[in-house]
Each structure stands twice: as structure tokens, then as C-alpha cells.
Chains A and B, each alone.
Chain A
Amino acid sequence: MTPALALMGVFVVWPIVSAVRMSFYRWKGFGPMEDFVGLRNYGRVLGDDVFRDAVAHNFVIVIASVVVQLPLGLAIAMLLNRNIRLRGLLRTVVFVPYVMAEVIAAVIWFQLLQPEYGVVDGLIELVGLTPPEQGFLGTPELALPTLFVVLTWKYLGLAVLLFLAGLQGVPDELYEAAQLDGASWWRTQLRVALPLLGPTIRTWLFLSMIGSLQQFDMVWVLTGGGPANATTTMATYLINQGTQRHNYGIAGAASVVLFLVSFVMALAYQLLILRRDTVVER
């Protein structure tokens, strides 16, 4: 127990305390930290349009994940749960992006999405359409939706995997009973499988929400938060302020805000939604 606590202290508690401390100072990353500025860094972060946009982008990703990835993941999981041909292959295809390192996946997509010379633009031209002039990642209005498509490609596998596992837990007898009652496959899924998937869906929602709030690698490699800050997230904002601009105090404040947002969301989710899964029926 003691080694675990020590590790926890060094790698979790200490960095958190350090970041909080750093957020109250104006500090360039070296020399003594002595220019105490109180809450000024928080004022600057919260008053910065770029940060507010970043928060909005994070929430767009959270909401879009629920709206798009949830039904899509459920549909694919239900299909792959049937005895169809090439089921194993299809499961692998859906799951491979998830196990791929995020940075590598982003580099691949960056190349595919290159304007003019990229495969995606080539395919669009092939069907007679005109790709956007600045490319999907270079057009401010398209960059965030494009990023979300790539994120969906990357993380759909996790949703499908979880939902499939959940579906495996549905007792065959329930399907058989539904069949005997004359229910169609579609109706069986909707009325039997889906309600039983509740806990799995709620767990996925939690993972998806926290992942979306902390999204960094994919954005950093694909767009660096650009163009024109159109894809900046809270994490890219704080890294930009810290390692690029050497405003470590502001980076500290942004990291505390990110931590608080994630913490409050996680806590609320735990209390309001996940609680029902942990309450033991008497």
C-alpha cells in the first residue's frame, strides 16, 4: 500500500498541487517562482475568447459524440452480434483504429486530408465534386467537423467493443422468448437488448465525456488548434500557453480550469447517472 501511495503522491497529487501553485504566479518556466499575481491568471484565461471557444469546442465534441457515436456504435454492435458472414473480420476492422496510437492515427489522417495531393481530396474529385480550397483541415468552418469525423473513426471501436460485450451478456432465453412471442429482430433489439445495455451505455458515455474534455493528441497533430483557433481545445490551449509561449502561470490556471470542469462533470455524472448502476437492490 505504501509504494502505491508514494507513487500516487509523486505522480498525481504533487503535479496537481504544483499546477495550482503555478497558476497564482507569473512565471516563464525558469528561475524562482516569486511574482505572485493572485487570481489574475484565472481572469486572463476566463476572459480570453480563445479559451472560451476552446471550452465550446470541447463541449461540441462531447455532445457530437453522444449524438453520433452512440447510435452508430449501437447499430454496428447489434449487427456484429448477429451471425453474419465475415463477422470476425468486420469486428477487427472496426476495432483496429481504437488500438492504434493516437499520434500515428493523426499523422496518417493528416496525410490523407492534405489539400490537393491527399487521398480524400482525390476521391472527392473522382466523384465530380470540388474539395474545399484550403482543405478540410485548413478551412476554419470545416476543421472541427473534420476533426470529429476522425475522432469518430478512432473511437467508434471502443463503443462497439463495449456494446458487444454488453450484448453478449443478454441471456439467450430472452431472445428466444421474444421470438416465440413473434417479435421481429428489430423489435427484439429495441425492447430486449437495449434496456439491458443501460449500464454499458452509461459507462461508455462517461469514458467518452472525459476523453472528449481532455482531447489533445489528435488535435495537436492534425491542426495544432488551428486554423484560426477553430479547433483549439482546453488541453491544446494550455500546452500552447505553457510550452510555446512560456506563460506557465496561465497554463497552470487553464489546467486547473480543465481539471475543475472535468471533475465537476465526472462528479455530477457519478451522482446523477452512474449511481443507479451501483445501488444494490434490496
Chain B
Amino acid sequence: MRSKTRRAALAALSAGVLLLAAACGGDDSSEADEDTITWWHNSNNDPGKAYYEQVAKDFEADNPGVNVEISAMAHEDMVDKLAAAFQSGDLPDVYMERGGGELADHVEAGLVRDLSEDASEEIEKIGDVAMAGWQVDDTSYALPFSLGVVGFWYNTELFEQAGITETPTTMDGLYDVIDKLKAADLTPLSVGAGDKWPAAHYWYYTAVRACSPDTITEAVSSRDFSDPCFVKAGEVVEDILETEPFHAGFLSTPAQEGASSASGLLATGKVAMEMQGQWEPGVMQGLTDDGLGLGDKTGWFPFPAVEGGEGDPAAQLGGGDAWAVPEGAPDVAVDLAKYLLSDEVQQGFAEKDMGLPTNPAAFDSLANPSLAELLKVRDEAPYVQLYFDTAFGESIGGAMNDEIALLFAGQATPEDVVSATQSAADDEG
């Protein structure tokens, strides 16, 4: 949901802020009022916004004397504000962590509070699969409240029109679907390669399918990409590109801004499929005049198996958001983070389709059938691989995404993607 215009303004602002913060440095968090806790979240539209306001009121009622100050922001505003807050060291008491390498960096800088003991009950309930992305050296630093997976969203009506009766489970099957859609004079896929990460998701998935889970786990910790399966991942992406499945102008198309974005093209029936995360139905609703998105024409299928790949075809690529508490925040902030993962709050979260809950007590509460189906796929997955750019952190992930975007533009080879990633990893030291 990145807004380019806002990003431009914020990038300029952040540049200024970072220059000032660079000179300030250090931890200058002011003496906080123990009874007032600040909570930043990105549910800035109803029903989520109103729901979280109610949740805060309920928490205040259960904890007399405590005052919760909410800042509900658009996602990208929140991310940019958080970046500035990390620089100044003056963080809100409860905030969103995306996990992986980003979290590891925050932990290394001593900014995040260890929740392993304080929230042991919640951590046990959430389970190892979902918690994995928010643990560093077996220590839990945040409580994931939503965890979703990426897959192909498609227009069931256009599939019918092209005579497609079954969703593909192999790459050949996917190519067959692409051929059929093209034969029916339909554009098979959209991708917001202008924003890079949607294109990068293809490579991430082909790597998850081409590489064994051990190879990926090993790469995440050792930052070694020498296994040939990473080159194979790029070759599979090249195979996909060779079928010319994407809409015209995909190299400069944004992911999800406006009707001409990749998500907009799917929402308005101009393409048949788009590979995106669990947020796609909600995003599409915001991109059509009737506010319904694809409505009951919405279909979903997981990323197909890669023939000869060592990865588990049932493994999924995904990610989520977790509530974290900064080092030095009052204990009541931990209580709020725990309360946000309670059965009651997670059930309300699921009922309003705000995301895919992590507390099993809320699994049956999802109202949207597509999301319920996704939840099933997520929970049946042997593991959910965190998006690589999050898992490896912005520095390596950014280099990876940039090179994958070049691969999409036909200006980089599968080997280039690996070597650019490796060189960024080596520079990290």
C-alpha cells in the first residue's frame, strides 16, 4: 500500500530527520509517564480503527489508571515514522515489528524488549511456526498477531471464459493456464515490478521451491548463497518471463496504487491473475468504485511446485506483523501487547477480517471464505518462509530486490541475482 507521492515527501522528510538524528544519536527517550502508554498501529480505516479504539478502552477499564494513547497511521506513514523513532531511540510503548533481519538488527541495537518470560503463555499458544520470525537466538521479542501467505489471486469468471477448470499445481500447469488465457485473448498476469518487491516475490517463491528448507535456513543464518538452487530459482523466473504472461508496462507499474496498478488491473478484470499476499482482497476493495473488489469472483491458489526442486511444494512464502515493546517501556505496555493476543481480541480481529490471526482460538472466527481458505493453507504448510527482504534485512533484501527487478527487465542473469545478493551480504560483514 505504498503511496509513491507520500513516499517522495516522506523520503525527503526522513532524509532531513536522519541527518538531524545522526548528529543527536544515542538514546534520548524522555521520562515517560508510567501510566500512559503509546500504541502505534496501521489500522487507520474502519472497522479496524474503531475496533482498536474499543480494545484500548477495554484495556483501560481492566487496568484502572492506565491511559492508552493510540496513533493510527497509514502503513507507510507508520513505517517511516518508526524508522525515525528508531533513529532517535524514542519509540512508542507498543509498536509493530515485521520480524526477520529487521528485528535482529533492532535486537542487536538493544532496542527491543525480551518477551520470552513475560508472555510465555501467549508464545506457547501462538506456536513455533508463527513465532519463528520474531525470535532471535531462541529468544522471543514480539508477539505476531497476523501471519499470512502469498499466492495467486485470480478472477474465476475469466478462468471460466478461458476454459480453465482446474488451478495449476506445477509450473507446467501454470504455463498451460497462461497459454489458455492468452488464447482467449486475456492478459494472464499483472505484477507491480515498478515497486520491485512484487517481482521479487516470484524469485523468493521459486527459491523456496528450488531449495531445500535446510539450504534456506542455512542461508538466512550464514548469508551464503553458493548453493546452485539459488541460480535455479532465477532460471525458473526466466522461464516464467519467457511465456510473456504479464500486462503491458509491468516494469513501471506500481503494486497497489490506483486502478492502473497491478492490483487495480486484477480488481477491474483487466488481467486474470496476480501473485500477492493475504491483504489482496482488502486492497482490491479499495480500488473499485463499488468497494467490492473482485467480490465473489475471487479465487486463490498456492504457488505451484517446481519440477526437480528440492523444496517442499506445500511450504509457503509469507509474513506478518507482531506487537513489540521497546526496551525500557513500562510493564503495562507488555500487558497491552499480551492483551492484543488474547482470545477475545484475536476473535474480534478475525471477525472483522483484519488479517489472519495467530491465536488458534480465533481461527474459526474469520468471516471471509478466501481468507479462511488461506488460513488452512498456512496452517497445513510445513513452514512459512518469511519474505526474503524481511528475513535478510533491508540492506541485503534491497540489493536482492533491485537485481530481481533487473532480471525482470532482461538486464540481469540468474547468476547476477545471486552475486548481487552475496556481495550485499558480504558487505554486511
A residues sitting closer than 8 Å to B (CB atoms) are 14-15, 17-19, 21-22, 26-33, 44, 103-104, 106-107, 110-111, 114-118, 133-135, 137-140, 143, 216-217, 220-221, 223-224, 226-229, 238-240, 242-248, 251-252
Contacts and interface: CB of A to CB of B under 8 A. Distances in A.
Contacts of A19: 19, 22
Interface stretch (B50-58, B105-113, B117-125): B105-113
Contacts of B258: 111
A137 B211 CA distance: 35
B369 interface: no
Contacts of A133: 248-249
B252 A223 contact: yes
Contact of A115 (B11, B23, B26, B248): B248
Nearest to A15: B19
A245 B395 contact: yes
27 contacts: A17-B23, A18-B23, A21-B23, A29-B18, A29-B87, A30-B86, A30-B87, A103-B8, A114-B249, A116-B249, A133-B248, A135-B252, A137-B252, A138-B250, A216-B12, A217-B12, A226-B251, A226-B409, A227-B251, A228-B251, A228-B409, A229-B402, A239-B11, A240-B398, A243-B10, A245-B395, A246-B395
Contacts of A245: 394-395, 398-399
B393 interface: yes
B394 A221 contact: no
Nearest to A17: B23
Contacts of A223: 194, 252
B183 interface: no
Contacts of A17: 23
Given A21-B22, A31-B110, A15 B248 contact: no
A118 B249 CA distance: 11
Contacts of A135: 248-249, 252
B83 interface: yes
Given A44-B427, A221-B4, A226-B409, 10 more contacts: A21-B23, A29-B87, A32-B109, A114-B249, A115-B252, A134-B248, A216-B12, A223-B252, A244-B398, A245-B398
A-B interface, 3 closest residue pairs, ranked by CB to CB distance from nearest: A31-B109, A115-B249, A245-B398
A33 B25 contact: yes
Given A15-B20, A30-B89, A246 B393 contact: yes
Contact of A243 (B11, B23, B252, B411): B11
B280 to A, nearest CB: 21
B252 A227 contact: yes
A30 B89 CA distance: 7
Contacts of B427: 44
Contacts of B22: 18-19, 21-22, 27, 33, 248, 252
Nearest to B410: A228
B66 interface: no
A10 to B, nearest CB: 8
A109 to B, nearest CB: 12
A31 B394 contact: no
B136 interface: no
A247 B395 contact: yes
A115 to B, nearest CB: 3
B26 to A, nearest CB: 7
B406 interface: yes
Interface in B1-31: 4-5, 7-12, 14-16, 18-20, 22-23, 25-26
Interface string B179-207: 00000000000000111100000000000
Most buried by B among A31, A115, A133, A220: A31
Most buried by B among A21, A221, A243, A248: A243
Contacts of B253: 138
Contact of B20 (A18, A103, A114): A18
B308 interface: no
B359 to A, nearest CB: 30
A31 B8 contact: no
A143 B194 CA distance: 13
A83 B26 CA distance: 64
Contacts of B306: none
B394 A14 contact: no
A221 B248 contact: no
Interface string B229-263: 00000000000000000011111110000101000
Contacts of A242: 14-15, 18
Contact of B248 (A116, A217, A220, A224): A116
Most buried by A among B7, B9, B251, B398: B251
A163 B393 CA distance: 51
A227 to B, nearest CB: 4
Contacts of A27: 22
Contacts of B14: 242-243
B230 to A, nearest CB: 20
A138 B399 CA distance: 20
B64 interface: no
Contacts of A44: 427
B102 to A, nearest CB: 9
Contact of B19 (A18, A217, A221): A18
B15 to A, nearest CB: 6
A59 to B, nearest CB: 21
Contacts of A116: 247-249
A140 B411 contact: yes
A233 B5 CA distance: 18
A110 B253 CA distance: 10
Contacts of B402: 229
B405 interface: yes
